[in-house]
Amino acid sequence: MRLSFILFTLESTSGALPAMASGIRTSRLVSALLLVSVAALPSFSQPTAPGTAPVLMVSDIHFEPFWDPAKAAELAAAPTSGWQAILASAPSPDRETRFDALQQACQTRGDDTSYPLFASSLNAMKADAAGAKFVTVSGDLISHAFTCKFARVFPNAKPGEYSAFAEKIIEFVVNSLRNALPGVPVYASLGNNDSDCGDYQLDANNGFLNDTGKVLTADVSAAESKLARRNFAIGGNFSVTLPAPFAHTRLIVLDDVFMARNYQTCAGKDDPSEAKRQIAWLHSELDRARREKEKVWVIAHIPPGVDPHSTAAKGKNLCTGNSPTMFLSSGDLPEMLAAYGDVISLAIFAHTHMDEMRLFPPVMSLETPQPVPVKLVPSISPIDGNNPSFTVAQVDPGTATLVDYRVIAASNQTGIGATWSQEYDYAQAFSEPSFSASALGNLIAEFKADPGAKTPASQAYIRNYFVGDRSAVLTSFWPFEICALTNFTAKNYRACMCGSQ
């Protein structure tokens, strides 16, 4: 078939935020926010399902340190322990003008997470995820276009100051999450924006990874800490035993920017060597988990497989031989994960800012092939016009199975005067008993049998894909999304799209 249509893309809608945003982004209203405490947000938490443990999932925070450009120099000079006082102080009189000029100069498509929005999200997490046993953060803690903004705000920066500021942002964001939920371990991966040299750029075994690793592995137990820090300093990876009540369960954290299709070193060169080393390390970790009969969660930022939105937006005619747009440079990661379906209970990714699911197909050569369920966590950042959100999951601690989850979303994209409430509940929306491989298999089969997106399940997926419900976004490329749910090679995806699978 010929794949040509007018696509209502995220890019075409995200540049213009709703009209209320321009009215909200004023110094007067921001000052009002700073005078009114949001700590007394109402709690809308629900009782933990019997036999499960709550887990908080957060992603794509994209904290914007230049939201008030006049404060950037203070932030750069201060330890992160002093950042909250600086950020919470009254905004500069020309904040909005200077920030808008910076956004325009760096050609950003929207606003990332300001301090008011981040503070609002933290208070909502306190209210709704207070009982969480641990927190996952699946990458991208730093704002978009950070390199451009830094260069304009600090035109005379000395060598090392860029890296130091990037490290401080990561430290501030992660420690803010820890302060919001005292005593709860926070496990974070890095994303493509989390670098000391540029988007999708990073060097393995460097000072940035060494310094950042000390922050991101701070909640690893003493017995595992030394090895975790060493592995992170090499390639941004670590492995940790999850805390009680989870029994014999391991979390493996990957920085898969090294595997991204457009990854380059800080010198701007292609280098596949670290991606290969990461796959070898992951293989050894999964082998160990299998031998020791551990359950495993894997967390990284960029999802493997096809980017259905970009593929659709580019209008590629796949049925005449064109290739879909892939997230990663090879199929090594999904193939490795799929080979351990008997070990991996859940894989967590993000990057798209949308609420999505995937199912890695099983390796049929195994004696007991099992698929791997995959959750893509939506973003805090509202840069694409979506409402900020986080996810509170209910997990069976004995099997590490994701039983249910609720997406908690803000009522607006600034955090100013925002209320946070339940966007949807997975079990209620899809009538499935869990987010297990078998349940996802049933659900995806229903999607594939419904190319017109008429069933309640298909409508629920389309409605909840874009937090804040812009159903037209996914409706316009629904067939592309369906085929991306289980097809992780260009060949299989093309076969699905062209009706030969």
* Per-residue pLDDT reduced to its tens digit, 104-131: 999 999 999 999 999 999 999 999 998 9
Predicted confidence at residue 418, as pLDDT, reads: 97
- 68 to 94, 215, 455: CA distances (angstroms): 9, 25, 46
Taking only the tens of pLDDT, the chain with its 501 residues reads: 323 322 223 333 333 333 333 333 333 333 333 333 333 333 344 455 668 999 999 999 999 999 999 999 999 999 999 999 999 999 999 999 999 999 999 999 999 999 999 999 999 999 999 899 999 999 999 999 999 999 999 999 999 999 999 999 999 999 999 999 999 999 999 999 999 999 999 999 999 999 999 999 999 999 999 999 999 999 999 999 999 999 999 999 999 999 999 999 999 999 999 999 999 999 999 999 999 999 999 999 999 999 999 999 887 788 888 899 999 999 999 999 999 999 999 999 999 999 999 999 987 666 667 999 999 999 999 999 999 999 999 999 999 999 999 999 999 999 999 999 999 999 999 999 999 999 999 999 999 999 999 999 999 999 999 999 998 999 989 999 999 999 999 999 999 999 865
Predicted confidence at residue 341, as pLDDT, reads: 94
What percent of the chain stands above pLDDT 70?
89
Predicted confidence at residue 487, as pLDDT, reads: 94
CA dihedral for 134, 135, 138, 142, sign (positive or negative): negative
Domains of the chain: 40-437 (3.60.21.10)
Q: What is the rounded CA–CA span in Å between residue 95 and residue 214?
A: 33
Predicted confidence at residue 6, as pLDDT, reads: 27
Which residue(s) pair with 425 in the sheet? 406
* Per-residue pLDDT reduced to its tens digit, 251-300: 999 999 999 999 999 999 999 999 999 999 999 999 999 999 999 999 99
Which residue(s) pair with 422 in the sheet? 408
Q: Are strands 238-241 and 186-189 parallel, antiparallel or unpaired?
A: unpaired
For the entire predicted model, the pTM comes to 0.89
Predicted confidence at residue 27, as pLDDT, reads: 35
| Residue 472 buriedness (CB in 10 A; 0-12 / 13-18 / 19+) | exposed
Of 266, 259, 212, nearest to 238 (Cα)?
A: 212
Contact partners, residue 424, CB within 8 Å, separation at least 6? 406, 407, 460, 463, 464
Which two structure tokens, joined as six digits, stand for 396?
Answer: 């069976």
Instruction: Give the H/E segment covering residue 281.
Output: helix 273-291
Predicted confidence at residue 499, as pLDDT, reads: 84
Which two structure tokens, joined as six digits, stand for 345?
Answer: 């209970």
Predicted confidence at residue 322, as pLDDT, reads: 87
